[in-house]
Structure 1
Amino acid sequence: MGLGEDGPDGLPPASRAALEAAEIVMGPPRHLGLLPDLDAERVEWPVPFADGLEKLRALRGRPVAVLASGDPFWFGAGSVIAQDFAPGEWRAFPAPSVFSLAAAHLGWRLERTPCLGLHATPFGQLRPHLAPGARALVLLRDGAAVRDLAAWLTGLDFGETGIWVMEALGGPRERVRNAKAAEYDLTDVAHPVCVGLKVAGTGAPIPACGGWPDDLFDHDGQITKRPVRALTLSALAPRPGEHLWDIGAGSGSISIEWLACHPSMHATAVEADPARADRIRTNAAALGVDRLRVVEGRAPEVLDGLDPPQAVFIGGGLSEALLSDLWARLGSGTRVVANAVTLESEALLAAWQAAQGGSLLRVELAEAQPLGTRRGWRTAYPVVQWSAVR
């Protein structure tokens, strides 16, 4: 059941009745400390969390009350516990979530405010939401994490961001303070803590469309450049819930932008160079998609055992052997996009397009550059792109 910071006094009658009828009450020490005298046995939920699930399963059939903060099904333990028990074995009694309490305090429209739980995930999860005027509500593990978040925002040139530090909302210890990220100096912030952010500063927002600026990615030159990346993502046609194989991933730019399209997307980046594989992981964490899976090795050898994709991009390592393996391995309906720069790779894609169909696109780009005292066009190598459906 969801328990507010004021303990059981704020619970509705049905929740209080369930708590009083329990033989065992499980929860973290902070929650157990909020309870009045009860006949029930008190059991601290251990760390790591999975050990508590094992204890709870062992108590199956007995009346057990599990305490959680606010709404257990919003960044809480509810969904994790419920998946281990049949619907008739459990009942939830949610309390107002900390996000609801925070929005009510700040007067922010909750349906238009991103809500993130960053207890144990990189601050990069917040990166796609950083744009002047944007707002967000964020849960953090402790007061030190608020200081770290302020420093992270300042380092990205969003130091003008307003931070509302909200401690123990809804209870007697409730406290709300405000500061700018660049001027943050609070040293006594107590858990549980939620922060409200009103973004401001000169930092670079991430575009909401495909084709992000190249300088958002750390790379060694092995990157699908912005205009070609936008065309490639359009050809891959991302759809919610789908999985991408990004073969020869380089900097990971294609798979990172794929994942940014929707939170339900999945991607596996395949990269043979260990340094580039590490760089992909760093880019993914910094840009808010640390769920990207990175597989080190050469395709097709490392493809065995991977979850099947709905789309495949070949940005490096293109060969007859790779295409033949993919065509035998992939399921019907899988979308395949391959880019080529060399004459040999162009010829290979032309042959496969003639045999398997799909579309063949030749992209030629030129950029204005200084030419003496004037300007001229500097032409990049043309890129040939083959798009097909298996």
Structure 2
Amino acid sequence: MAAERPSPPVVVVGIGADGWAGLSAVARHAVDEAEVVLGSPRQLELIGPRPGKARLWPSPMLPALPGLFEQLAGRRVCALASGDPMFYGLGSTLCRVLGPQRLEVIPHPSSVSLACAHLGWPVQDTYVRSAVARPLHRLLASVAPGRRLLVLTSDAEGPSAVAGLLAERGYRASELTVLEQLGGPAERVVTGRAGEWAHPPGDPLAIVAVHCVLDQDTVALPFVPGLPDDAYDHDGQLTKREIRAVTLARLAPLPGQLLWDVGAGAGSIAIEWLRAEESCRAVAVERDLERAARISRNAAALGVPGLRVVTGEAPEALEGLDPPATIFVGGGVTVDGVLPACWSALGPGGRLVANAVTMEAESLLASWYGRHGGSLTRIELRRAAPVGGFTGWRAALPVTQWVLDKP
């Protein structure tokens, strides 16, 4: 019997707007030797006619990939990708589908490298955010005075949308540079300020460079926990700034972790958990419909639109959620079954943090502390306030905080 033909690696070739002329000898050889060349219409046009070899990606692409490469097993396949395939690109997708051992990647300079070279911006000092298949509001979590940002957009309306969002958030003076078809014969550069952006839509293959400039009447938001209370739209159900900072320190977010914010109120704990580390995830559980809608608006306004909001009353609303690494209970501590359900949902090494402001909730936390241990802390806060013609200390409601790690 003839031995089954082994499958050679799929060669992923990055290609830029300069097309065939910009490919290295190694990349050209990979394209020439391939029996099948996969790509988008634009990418296939860039390498010139390939009769019998050129093949468009299926649409929708992702669900069709396993079957496609099963059909192509044993054949020499070249997959074309834009720029650096491993930078928000096709290479990352194929690694997940086929595994890195099945790939050989030949990168081209990324749009970020080309943009930084054009602008004279050090790559290591430039923040990159993608708005391709992602909410544009994620950009707001990275905006800061003086910061240099590169925003990857998905269509010709992208630069205008970036300018509008910056102007809305008090960065009207920010300098924008739109770089289209970088490195190619149709390269074009357009500049302007966010608050005055009037350029018509251009080429969809573009990257938006932003030099963030804060308007004089705008207060910049910090990246550490404890945002000003007025950064949130709320009805009074808000973990106050100082308590929030202490609570986030005890929650101790780590990359990739999932938080349940139970009784979320205005969503401030979940929102600042997400702002602390962009790979973190969070679910805000809130029974009140109006507050739940407000949480979503706050999350978008503060740059973390990926916050998942679940409307319902705990503990029933917790059923079916992904297992958390950490749980915060800020509302509903005394609701029957909430603490047991939260404790049960945590795996080994998980952390439970609960805050109480009423005597009944404080008593319950003291009871759990007596049975399970952990740490119990009472946080008292006083703010200076007018007393007649003088100034005195006005006490806020004290907060009792219980923290427990699951063995």
Letter in 2 for 1:286: A
Deviation at 1:120?
2.8
The answer for the alignment partner of 1:367 in structure 2 is 383
CA distance in 2, matches of 1:358, 1:220: 32
The answer for the alignment partner of 1:142 in structure 2 is 155
Equivalent in 270, 279, 301 of residue 294 of structure 2: 279
Is this contact kept in 1: 2:353–2:402, CA < 8 A? Answer: yes
Is this contact kept in 2: 1:339–1:383, CA < 8 A? Answer: yes
The answer for the alignment partner of 2:341 in structure 1 is 325
Is this contact kept in 2: 1:249–1:315, CA < 8 A? Answer: yes
Deviation at 1:358?
1.8
Describe the shift of the 1:120–1:325 C-alpha distance in structure 2 as closer, same or farther (beyond 3 A). Answer: closer
The answer for the alignment partner of 1:300 in structure 2 is 315
Unaligned runs of 5+ in 1: none
Deviation at 1:274?
2.3
> Which aligned runs of 4 or more in structure 1 are off by greater than 6 angstroms?
none
Equivalent in 194, 197, 222 of residue 181 of structure 1: 194
The answer for the alignment partner of 1:358 in structure 2 is 374
Is this contact kept in 1: 2:326–2:346, CA < 8 A? Answer: no
The answer for the alignment partner of 1:4 in structure 2 is 16
CA distance in 1, matches of 2:37, 2:85: 16
Q: Are residues 1:197 and 2:213 paired? A: no
Is this contact kept in 1: 2:214–2:220, CA < 8 A? Answer: no
The answer for the alignment partner of 1:31 in structure 2 is 43
Deviation at 1:377?
3.0
Matches within 5 A, 1:155-304: 155-202=168-215, 203-304=218-319
Matched residue of 2:198: which SS?
coil
Matched residue of 1:71: which SS?
coil
The answer for the alignment partner of 1:84 in structure 2 is 97
The answer for the alignment partner of 1:53 in structure 2 is 65
Is this contact kept in 2: 1:25–1:65, CA < 8 A? Answer: yes
Letter in 1 for 2:110: S
Describe the shift of the 1:92–1:271 C-alpha distance in structure 2 as closer, same or farther (beyond 3 A). Answer: same
Is this contact kept in 1: 2:324–2:345, CA < 8 A? Answer: no
Matched residue of 2:104: which SS?
coil
Describe the shift of the 1:101–1:301 C-alpha distance in structure 2 as closer, same or farther (beyond 3 A). Answer: same
Is this contact kept in 2: 1:367–1:377, CA < 8 A? Answer: yes
TM-score relative to the length of structure 1: 0.94
Comparing 113-122 with 337-346, greater Cα deviation is found at 113-122
Describe the shift of the 1:6–1:248 C-alpha distance in structure 2 as closer, same or farther (beyond 3 A). Answer: same
TM-score relative to the length of structure 2: 0.90
Equivalent in 43, 47, 53 of residue 55 of structure 2: 43
Comparing 106-115 with 123-132, greater Cα deviation is found at 123-132
Deviations 1:316-369 (A, max 9, x none): 111252223333443333211111111111111111112211222222222223
Deviations 1:2-33 (A, max 9, x none): 11101111111111111112222222222122
Matched residue of 1:33: which SS?
helix
Deviation at 1:124?
1.9
Deviation at 1:88?
4.5
CA distance in 2, matches of 1:47, 1:371: 69
Percent identical residues: 46
Root-mean-square deviation over aligned CA pairs: 1.9
Describe the shift of the 1:54–1:86 C-alpha distance in structure 2 as closer, same or farther (beyond 3 A). Answer: closer
The answer for the alignment partner of 1:380 in structure 2 is 396
Deviation at 1:294?
2.1
Describe the shift of the 1:71–1:52 C-alpha distance in structure 2 as closer, same or farther (beyond 3 A). Answer: farther
Letter in 2 for 1:29: P
Comparing 194-203 with 182-191, greater Cα deviation is found at 182-191
Equivalent in 288, 311, 315 of residue 330 of structure 2: 315
Query: How many residues are aligned here?
Result: 390
Deviation at 1:64?
2.4
CA distance in 2, matches of 1:219, 1:46: 46
Letter in 2 for 1:308: P
Is this contact kept in 2: 1:313–1:337, CA < 8 A? Answer: yes
